[in-house]
Amino acid sequence: MKKWMSMASVAVLTVSILAGCAGGQEAPKSNAPAPAPQGGKDAPKVTLKLIQNKVEVTEQVKQMAADYTKENPNVTIDAQVVRDLDTMLKTRFASGDEPDIFFAKSHSGVQDWSDRLLDMSNEPWMSKVDPSALPGMTVKGKKLGFPSAMEGYGFVYNKDLFKKAGIDKIPVTITELRQANEKLKAAGIASYAEGYKENFILGRNLFNLPFAYMPDSTEMIAKISSGTAKVQDVPLMKNFFEVLDMTVKYGKGVESVGVSYDNQVADFSSGKTAMMQQGVWTIDLIKKVNPNLNIGLFAVPLTDNPSDTKLPVGIPAYYVINKDSKQVEEAKKFLIWLHKNGQKYLVDQMHFIPGFTDLKATNELGPLAADMNVYLEKKQTIPWSYLLWPAGMDAQFTKPLQAYVGGQLNKDQALEEVQKMWNNAVKK
């Protein structure tokens, strides 16, 4: 979920860190040939191909690769950090240019690629994985992933603009959210510039909410897939449309379908809007535009009961190993090293909230992570239920939802289209 702020477009950055040459030790005097020194100039040269998304940490991935090569001079890390992870992976596997290590999206991606993944259940770092990260990486009892980060999303908001509009507390009900929008409007402040051009903002994160707020979203999603229930039967679907309507009414209107992620974050970061539906991953992008912006994060309310309002939290992606890789052992060594140095790279440099119990989030992660941690500590979180949808549905669902925002479909028609897509997906 999560992009590098060039304010334009960043498609792919390929990082190739060429192996250096370190001197080996003097060979013992023996008739038998001396073994090559570990990582020395005579060690076999190895290239590890790595593909991941989260392009906002491209430079950090580059530094991580460089540092690994310094310690292991026989290894080249060829890392690609991409926007469209799914397309890149399908292309690379179809062409035979398979990666050794890659990101698999939480549960749906791990499930889809499970036949190609190495079982890492017995890796030394596995005992340190946070229990909340295990469901998304476990398939048929096998633990297939290395958690990258724990992330949450909701409305990121500008505290100073809220204060200027006379909003003295964050909204915890749908009525209070509407009242906050009216106060912002009265103060001449735009509430939103939502990036509904993007699948992950509209068809995944926002549309996740009515499912995630259910007491048992797993059961409802299973019923929809089996044909015994419909999307229209999700209890809070009407409330979802109320929030969606607010973001359009108090934002860019029908033009929202043309707003990109970059533009959404740019407008918020420059103080043009008071809120944006985004997550903790945007902190570095915001800081690059305005390091002194006074911001916070709150959960999107869907009811008028404050105790219902909770923050979606989960693991967006896992590092996984291609079990058919010729470099499986080297790939395993890399993940062992990454866990050992996780505090430095995952937390301090990439600003991830770690999915390991022995790595600790710090105050340096910023106000969005701090607010997310409050929800975690109070156990006021909901799941990323979209992970249980048929694979790839977030991109499909975005189309009728965009048509709704653009005025081409009404609510019932949009949900009918979503239902057709769901039906077709489960038939395959």
Mean pLDDT of 399-404: 98
- β-pairing, 275-279 with 151-158? antiparallel
Q: Is the distance from CB of 45 to CB of 62 less than 8 angstroms? A: no
pLDDT tens-place string over residues 72-105: 999 999 999 998 898 999 999 999 999 999 999 8
Q: Which residues lie closer than 8 Å to 379 by C-beta, 6 or more apart?
A: none
Query: 3-class SS at 14?
Result: strand
What is the number of H-type helices and E-type strands within the chain? 16, 13
> Residue 1 pLDDT more than 50?
no
pLDDT (0 to 100) of residue 269: 98
Neighbours of 253 (CB within 10 A): 12
Q: Is the distance from CB of 104 to CB of 110 less than 8 angstroms? A: yes
Of 125-139, 161-175, 352-366, the range with the lowest mean pLDDT is: 352-366
Which two three-digit tokens encode residue 93? Answer: 């596997």
Domain 12-150+315-358 has CATH 2.40.160.10: no
* Burial (CB count <10 Å: 0-12, 13-18, 19+), residue 11: exposed
pLDDT (0 to 100) of residue 25: 37
pLDDT tens-place string over residues 108-129: 789 889 999 999 999 999 999 9
* Burial (CB count <10 Å: 0-12, 13-18, 19+), residue 105: buried
Q: Is the distance from CB of 321 to CB of 328 less than 8 angstroms? A: yes
Domains of the chain, residue spans: 12-150+315-358, 152-314+368-427
pTM across the whole model: 0.76
> Residue 369 pLDDT more than 70?
yes
17-26, 345-354, 414-423, range with greatest mean pLDDT? 414-423
Beta-strand ranges (E) seen in 262-370 are 275-279, 295-298, 311-314, 317-321
| Distance from C-alpha of 396 to C-alpha of 334, rounded to nearest angstrom | 35
Mean pLDDT of 322-345: 97
* Burial (CB count <10 Å: 0-12, 13-18, 19+), residue 75: buried
From 3.20.20.10, 3.30.565.10, 3.30.160.100, 3.40.190.10, which CATH number describes the 152-314+368-427 domain?
Answer: 3.40.190.10
How far CA 97 is from CA of 42, 61, 88, 89, 289, in Å, comes to 26, 21, 11, 10, 37
Nearest one of 273, 277, 279, 283 to 301, comparing CA atoms: 277
pLDDT band at 63 (very low <50, low <70, confident <90, very high): very high
pLDDT tens-place string over residues 349-362: 888 889 999 998 87
Do 152-314+368-427 and 12-150+315-358 fall under one CATH topology? yes
> Residue 145 pLDDT more than 70?
yes
| Distance from C-alpha of 316 to C-alpha of 395, rounded to nearest angstrom | 16
Q: Cα(first)–Cα(last) distance of the chain, in Å?
A: 26
Mean pLDDT of 48-77: 94
How large a percentage of the chain has pLDDT more than 70?
90
Alpha helices, DSSP H, located in 234-324: 237-249, 261-269, 283-289
pLDDT (0 to 100) of residue 363: 66
> Residue 10 pLDDT more than 60?
no
> Residue 313 pLDDT more than 70?
yes
pLDDT (0 to 100) of residue 19: 31
Mean pLDDT of 273-302: 95
> Residue 253 pLDDT more than 70?
yes
| Distance from C-alpha of 79 to C-alpha of 51, rounded to nearest angstrom | 6
